[in-house]
Structure 1
Amino acid sequence: MDIRRGVRIATLLSVVLLAFFVMGRWMGSYDALKPLDWSQNYADSLWQPLQDQRLQLGDLAPAAGEGRLWLISADDQPLLVSRHHLRSDGQSWRLQAVVGLELAQLDSLVQAQAWQPGMRDLPLDAALGMPLAQQPILRLSMIPEQPVELRYVQGSWGNPDMRLELGEGDQAWVYAKQGLVVAVSGEDAHSMMFGLREEP
Structure 2
Amino acid sequence: MSFRPRAGMATLFSLVVIALFFLVTWVMDQREPEPMQWQERYQQSIWTPLREGDLTLAGVDKPLGVGRLWMVSVEDEPLLVSRYVIQSDELNWRVQAVIELDTERMASLIKAQDWTAGMRDQSVSPSVGAALAGQPVERISLIPSEPVAIKRIVGTLGEPDMRMDVSEGNQAWVYGRMGAVVAVSGDQAHSIMFGLQGAR
TM-score (norm 1): 0.84
Asked whether 1:48 is paired with 2:53, we answer no
For 2:136 and 2:198, the matched residues in 1 are separated by: 18
Which whole-Å deviations, capped at 9, do the CAs of 1:38-65 have from their partners, x for residues lacking one?
0111101100000010000011121111
Cα deviation for residue 130 of structure 1 reads: 1.1
Aligned residues: 178
Which whole-Å deviations, capped at 9, do the CAs of 1:10-46 have from their partners, x for residues lacking one?
xxxxxxxxxxx99x94x63342422111011110110
What amino acid maps onto 1:193 in structure 2?
Answer: M
What amino acid maps onto 1:74 in structure 2?
Answer: V
Runs (4+) off by over 3 Å? 27-30
For 2:57 and 2:125, the matched residues in 1 are separated by: 15
- Aligned position for 2:189: 189
- Aligned position for 1:75: 75
- Aligned position for 2:133: 133
For 1:158 and 1:52, the matched residues in 2 are separated by: 20
- Aligned position for 2:144: 144
Report the aligned-residue RMSD: 1.8
For 1:116 and 1:199, the matched residues in 2 are separated by: 32
Instruction: Give the secondary structure class of the aligned counterpart of 2:60.
Output: helix
Cα deviation for residue 199 of structure 1 reads: 7.8
Contact in 1 for aligned 2:33/2:152 (Cα 8 Å): yes
For 2:65 and 2:185, the matched residues in 1 are separated by: 30
Cα deviation for residue 115 of structure 1 reads: 0.6
Unaligned runs of 5+ in 2: 1-21
Instruction: Give the secondary structure class of the aligned counterpart of 1:33.
Output: coil
For 2:57 and 2:199, the matched residues in 1 are separated by: 23
Contact in 1 for aligned 2:178/2:199 (Cα 8 Å): no
- Aligned position for 1:198: 198
Q: Trace 1:17-166 onto structure 2 (pairs within 5 A).
A: 25=26, 28-166=28-166
Contact in 2 for aligned 1:34/1:151 (Cα 8 Å): no
Instruction: Give the secondary structure class of the aligned counterpart of 2:31.
Output: helix
For 2:63 and 2:181, the matched residues in 1 are separated by: 22
TM-score (norm 2): 0.84
Instruction: Give the secondary structure class of the aligned counterpart of 2:151.
Output: helix
Unaligned runs of 5+ in 1: 1-20
For 1:29 and 1:178, the matched residues in 2 are separated by: 27
What amino acid maps onto 1:115 in structure 2?
Answer: W
Instruction: Give the secondary structure class of the aligned counterpart of 1:117.
Output: coil
